[in-house]
Structure 1
Amino acid sequence: MHCSSFAADLCRSCTLMGQSYPEQLAAKQRHVEQVLGPRADLDWLAPVTSPESGFRNKAKMVVGGTALQPTLGILDATGRGIDLRDCGLYTPGLQAAFGVLAHFVARAGLTPYDVARRSGELKNLLVTESPDGELMVRFVLRSQEPVARIRKHLPVLLGELPHLRVVSANLLPEHKAVVEGEREILLTEQETLRMRLNGIDMHLRPQSFFQTNTEVAAALYRQATAWVDELAPSSVWDLYCGVGGFALHCAAPGRAVLGVETSREAVASATLSAHEAGLSCATFQVGDATAFALGAPHAPGLVVVNPPRRGLGEELSRWLEESSVEHVVYSSCHSGSLARDLAAMPSLRPRRARLLDMFPQTSHYEVLTLLERA
């Protein structure tokens, strides 16, 4: 893959740009095996590959420039906007939407936020595309002041982007290096973006998380489901369940599946998906994964965990080690924290593992591991 922005030294986010894809994949496999260490009883499955370009279903675009000539992309060291609308990582659907959104910024008079001066309103544009080509657009604003103008011009935007389903304004009044704030103002009647994977409809609300590589995410859920179905546990917990990807895929007649997640929006989405699919065996609740496990009267036969980059942490790892759980399916985006958690759970031995290349052109990847109690 060639990137003109990388070649011109304007964007260096893709640290592996210029390496052949087979070289990238082999290096990631070597890295994860080195981090987890030699394990004679661990069976490594063939890595799940990704398209080298056009795979990102979500764009987090910093808005720079001026209201009349906005840039969508990143800021350089001086705060100047670098336009990355032609970035090859994004899906064709996202790339086609960027120009329309830039014109909308000008039409609605949305002044980009100036970091140095701490003035202006529009900080970021967050755009997500579903597997069916539908779009969600979120305007991250310093204040609520521009919302009326966005509402006024929104019918034109909906006409120009016929696949646009969900639009919201996110308020980030603080001057800090984060992508979004806590308050969300929905601007369309439709509240969720339907994310259809492997025949299962999931619902994505504006502040919910979803894997950024649709094709590899689908493979991730298929692999986890295959392992769970083979083991056929009667009860499953999906901790850090998000919008319910693992739980909904693993649900089956005679198998009670419970998802736990701190985000109320994500739990509402997962509950809606289970209801629409007729999966009465899958339930979801708001809560902290560690606190839930430590306070539960009984343990399930299998636990699925998909923690953030920091991993499970000492308390949850210790609980799993001392519990009666027979199997754990661990999905990790950081092999270092995975290795630490495995060291804290010596009775739960990794038996199978698979690298999934969720992030081509970078050193990041996902690894799915099946643990079995010795």
Structure 2
Amino acid sequence: MAKGEIVTVKIEEMDFKGYGVGYCEGKPLKVRGGILGQRVAVRVKKGKKGRAEGEIVEVIERSPFEVESPCPHFGECGGCTYQNLSYENQLKIKKDVVLKLLEKEGIKDFEFLGIERSPKVYGYRNKMEYTFGTDREGKKALGLHRKGKFYDVVMTDKCNIVDEDFTKALSLTFNYALEKNLPFYDKKTHEGYLRYLVVRKASKNGELLINIVTTTQLKHKFDDLVELYRSANFSSTLVGVLHTYNDSWSDAVICEKLEVLYGRDYLIEELLGLKFKISAFSFFQTNSYGAERIYSTVREFAGDVSNKTIFDLYCGTGTIGIVMAPLARKVIGIELVEEAVFSAKENAALNGLENAVFIAGDVSKKLREIKEKPDIVVVDPPRSGVNPKALEDIVNFEPEKIIYVSCNPESFARDLRLFVDKGYAVKKVKAIDMFPHTYHVELVGLLEKS
């Protein structure tokens, strides 16, 4: 396959990043936007490390699994990848991807508990970051990035993975911005005022937080917009409206200064009977209902922990540790980001938990300073997986159980192999669909000392 050549392939499988994979001249060709079962003409371009990737020039034969997408933005918006597949087929693809990666690493003789459906298939997201910009025709828009494009924005006012409160906040804000003739930020020139609209909702607790992100290039009072929000017929309770200032050139929501325009700067969510304070910039799982399924699985895999010490590594805002603390003798959480550790301590206090300790620092370094020995170690690392030094230290503690939570099937399978090579056996693996209509999947694995 030469770069620029157009070849015809059938998509025979999907990879863990949502690419379709076909074979040409016996070699794999990754196809962005390809769907299992399609026959497509593909323009070849070389990917990283010599691997071939390609883009679809023409769909010659539709996939037998393809359905009409219920979302009018699908195909143009870059948010979802699987809206044109039935939910059952989405689950099957994710399950097959996980099993293939585990097989590739030689992980066998374990109980695979299948893939659990998201409790909500539509309207499940509790957070959205909308971008102010222009669409491909140059018209003002507020929504998500167009598929594969950095500058273009799609007006996603009919998105079905959020509930009506998000759509209502988006429409109110967009119409207000047009009425006031407020300039939208231009990422090419770095000029303009309105940058992002961030909406967070406590799905289970019914609280709503709206954050308007702007530059400092203009002075504007949002009092009348706040009143519009307050008088809107939201299904949830509006607890706060915020104004964040962000002059950074990077395409990210960065807080350089925060003003509370109304109410408070956080909301309270409940998971498994425990309360969590979520600030405007706190990390929290974006599917609250799915998060409960992950944490319930961690509890199930841990078993009776009434006399156990648990290490919660890469603990973030401490959600897993806090979920385990009411059942355990002691929980020690370690996280690099100090702000996240502050939130973890705050949430432990909010729930009256005195047996949960959270430490700020590099996991691999802090593990060598701790004198206590864990009975169970829970790891929920970043997508890159467990730091090799930290993995070595975990094994040296000789915990009876290791529970591995992951959002990346590839690093999950790789790290399980490393634990197996160091004397642990994979007992159970469960996949949980946290993000319907995307290629993402969450995994929980149980390892025990051989």
TM-score, normalised to structure 2, is 0.75
Q: In structure 1, what is the Cα distance between the partners aligned to 2:140 and 2:82? A: 31
Are 1:239 and 1:304, in contact at CA under 8 Å, matched by a contact in 2?
A: yes
Alpha-carbon deviations, 1:29-64, whole Å to 9, x = none? Answer: 111111112544311113210233211111121112
Q: Find the counterpart in structure 1 of residue 115 from structure 2.
A: 47
Deviation at 1:129, TM superposition (A): 0.9
Give the structure 1 partner of residue 126 of structure 2: 57
Task: Please report how far the alpha carbon of residue 152 of structure 1 lies from its aligned counterpart in structure 2 after TM superposition.
Answer: 7.0
Displacement of 1:130: 0.5
Shift of 1:291: 2.2
1:343 aligns with 2:411: no
Structure 1 residue 287 displacement after superposition: 2.2
On the 8 A contact 2:424/2:449 being kept in 1, the answer is yes
CA shift, 1:106, in A, is: 4.1
1:251-296: CA deviation from partner (whole Å, max 9, x where unpaired): 1366111222233333333223222322111222322222221322
Match of 2:30 in 1: none
Cα distance in 2, alignment partners of residues 44 and 247 from structure 1: 25
Q: Corresponding residue for 2:184?
A: 112
- CA drift of 1:65 comes to 4.1
SS at match of 1:117: coil
Match of 1:203 in 2: 277
Contact 1:207 1:265 in 2 (8 A): no
Aligned to 2:98: 32
> SS at the partner of 2:212?
strand
Q: Is it true that 1:10 corresponds to 2:76 in the alignment?
A: yes
- Alpha carbons of 1:31 and 1:65: their partners in 2 closer, same or farther (altered >3 Å)? closer
1:367 Cα shift? 0.4
1:123 partner letter: R
Aligned length: 369
- TM-score, normalising length: structure 1: 0.89
Confirm or deny that 1:320 pairs with 2:388.
Answer: no
The one-letter amino acid of 1:21's match is: Y
Secondary structure (helix, strand or coil) at the match of 1:4 reads coil
Asked whether 1:74 is paired with 2:148, we answer: no
For 2:404 and 2:328, how far apart are their aligned partners in 1?
A: 23
Unaligned 5+ runs, structure 2: 1-68
Q: 1:339 is matched by which residue type in structure 2? A: A
Q: Aligned match of 2:229 in 146, 157, 166?
A: 157
Q: Which protein shows a greater Rg? A: 2
What is the match of residue 357 of structure 1?
Answer: 433
1:11 Cα shift? 1.8
Q: Distance in 1 between matches of 2:170 and 2:255?
A: 25
Q: Is 107-116 or 218-227 further displaced after alignment?
A: 107-116
Residues 199-348 of structure 1 aligned to structure 2 (within 5 Å): 199-230=273-304, 232=306, 234-252=308-326, 255-345=329-419, 346=421, 347-348=423-424
CA distance in 2, matches of 1:184, 1:86: 31
Q: Classify the secondary structure of the residue corresponding to 1:230.
A: coil
Alpha carbons 2:215, 2:246 under 8 Å: kept: yes
CA distance in 2, matches of 1:310, 1:19: 28
Q: Which has the higher helix share?
A: 1
Distance 1:285 1:296 in 2: 10
> Match for 1:43: what amino acid?
E
Gaps of 5+ in 1: none
Give the structure, 1 or 2, with the largest relative contact order (CA under 8 Å, sep 6 or more). 1
Cα drift, residue 189 of structure 1:
4.7
Q: What letter matches 1:304 in structure 2? A: V
Instruction: Please give the alpha-carbon distance, in whole angstroms, between the structure 1 residues aligned to 2:410 and 2:116.
Output: 20
Residue 185 (structure 1) aligns with: 258
Percent identical: 26
Structure 1 match to 2:164: 92
Instruction: Give, in angstroms, the shift of residue 309 of structure 1.
Output: 0.7
2:60 maps to what in 1?
none
